[in-house]
Amino acid sequence: MDFSVIENAEEDHQIVFDHSTTEIPQTLRAGVTEVFFVSSHITEIPKGAFTGHPELVKVVFMGTKISAIEPGGFNGLVNLRSLEISNNPLTSVPLGLFKDNSLLDTIILKFNQFVTLEKGLFDGLNHLEDLQLQGNRIEFIEDQTFDDLVNLEKLQLGKNNLTAVSTSWFSNLKKLNTLRLYENQLTTIPEDLFTNLPDLREVSLQGNKIKELSPNLFPHKNKIIKLELESNLLTSLPEKYFVGFPKLKILTLKNNQLTNLPPVLFGEMNDMTELSLQKNNLSTLPKGIFRSLKRLHHPKWNGCCLSKSDKVSPKNIANYQCSPQHFPCSSLTSQCRICRILLLC
């Protein structure tokens, strides 16, 4: 057996095993509390692999060849706070795997090959705050899978193969503030999906196939800071849809199929820093549509996609009536402050 360690890549409390490592070592040097297996050739985690290391608080398997974890693989890790198993050919983990790891606050299982998530997988993890499952092949999540995660704040389910989402999945996640469902195969979003999520602040739905949004989709919209809706199939938005989002800073609507916008779409958004509308089918914008954005400040106008003949300032942008000739894509620059606010090309 070979337990090659990457020298000079760690603090005293850390140890990193590289590609030459083929199994989990039974002994570690004194003082180590964090273990990293990076591109190692470990293929499985056997039962009791860590029973002699109750002092570990962080374990990472990144880019290894793990394809199986036996029941009891993490037994004995009673002080574990953070676990990452990412970029592996792993298709599932056994129920009860985390029964000794009730103090976990972070689990990262991204970019593996999970297809389903079963009820009971995360039972007992009521200290968990961050769960990352993006980049798998998840098609199905059993009801009550997340029910024990009462302190969960961030849930990442992006880049999977979900064709539908269920309100019941998230019914116990009262403290959730970030939900990412981007780049799945979603065509609709249940009207009550966010009803039981009173502290939601970031919602990522971009890169799906969503055609319309329910008028009552965001019952707790007064707390939302970031809302990503780009790269869907939206053709229209309800009147006053973004009224009542006082804390919204980022709203992305680009690369949809919007043909027009209602005269009143936005409410007061004094914190708004980005509103993207480019790559839609908009021919005109209603006069005064940006009226509620009048408190935004645009310190630099150089390179703005508005033509020089257009006398537009922060004072009169609220009443400006826009049409495509005002926004030639060739003049769009990443440094342009106003273009980051009114991205239309």
Question: CA-to-CA distance for 40 and 217, rounded, in angstroms?
Answer: 45
For 73, 182, 243, 269, the CA distances from 316, given in Å and listed in that order, are: 64, 36, 21, 17
Query: In CATH, what number is assigned to the domain containing residue 55?
Result: 3.80.10.10
For residue 260, is it within any domain?
A: no
Q: 104 Cβ partners below 8 Å, 6+ apart?
A: 80, 81, 82, 83, 98, 125, 127, 128
Angle at 234 between CA 229 and CA 236, to 5 degrees: 115
**Which residues, in sequence order, are bridge partners of residue 202?**
178, 226
For residue 128, is it within any domain?
A: no
For residue 7, is it within any domain?
A: yes
124 — alpha (psi -120 to 50), left (phi > 0) or beta? Answer: left
* Number of domains present in the structure of the chain: 1
Cβ-based neighbour number of residue 5 at 10 Å: 15
For residue 27, is it within any domain?
A: yes
Question: CA-to-CA distance for 81 and 125, rounded, in angstroms?
Answer: 11
> What does the pLDDT read at residue 34?
98
The pTM of the full predicted model, rounded to 2 decimals, is 0.86
Residue 219 token pair? 């019952």
> What does the pLDDT read at residue 293?
73
| Residue-range definition of the domain harbouring residue 44 | 1-113
For residue 91, is it within any domain?
A: yes
> What does the pLDDT read at residue 314?
42
Q: 276 Cβ partners below 8 Å, 6+ apart?
A: 230, 251, 252, 253, 254, 343
For residue 263, is it within any domain?
A: no
**Which residues, in sequence order, are bridge partners of residue 274?**
250
> What does the pLDDT read at residue 339?
40
Question: CA-to-CA distance for 240 and 62, rounded, in angstroms?
Answer: 46
137 — alpha (psi -120 to 50), left (phi > 0) or beta? Answer: alpha
For residue 66, is it within any domain?
A: yes
Cβ atoms 202, 223 nearer than 8 A:
no
Cβ atoms 276, 252 nearer than 8 A:
yes
For residue 146, is it within any domain?
A: no
Cα end-to-end span (Å), the chain: 59
> What does the pLDDT read at residue 10?
59
Cβ atoms 216, 241 nearer than 8 A:
no
For 50, 237, 260, 295, 324, the CA distances from 339, given in Å and listed in that order, are: 53, 22, 19, 16, 14
- Stretch (H or E) spanning 84: strand 82-86
Model confidence pLDDT, tens digit, residues 178-224:
999 999 999 999 999 999 999 999 999 999 999 999 999 999 999 99
Tens of pLDDT along the chain (345 residues)? 334 444 444 588 999 999 999 999 999 999 999 999 999 999 999 999 999 999 999 999 999 999 999 999 999 999 999 999 999 999 999 999 999 999 999 999 999 999 999 999 999 999 999 999 999 999 999 999 999 999 999 999 999 999 999 999 999 999 999 999 999 999 999 999 999 999 999 999 999 999 999 999 999 999 999 999 999 999 999 999 999 999 999 999 999 999 999 999 999 988 888 889 999 999 888 888 888 876 544 322 222 333 333 334 444 444 444 444 444 433 333 333 444 444 443
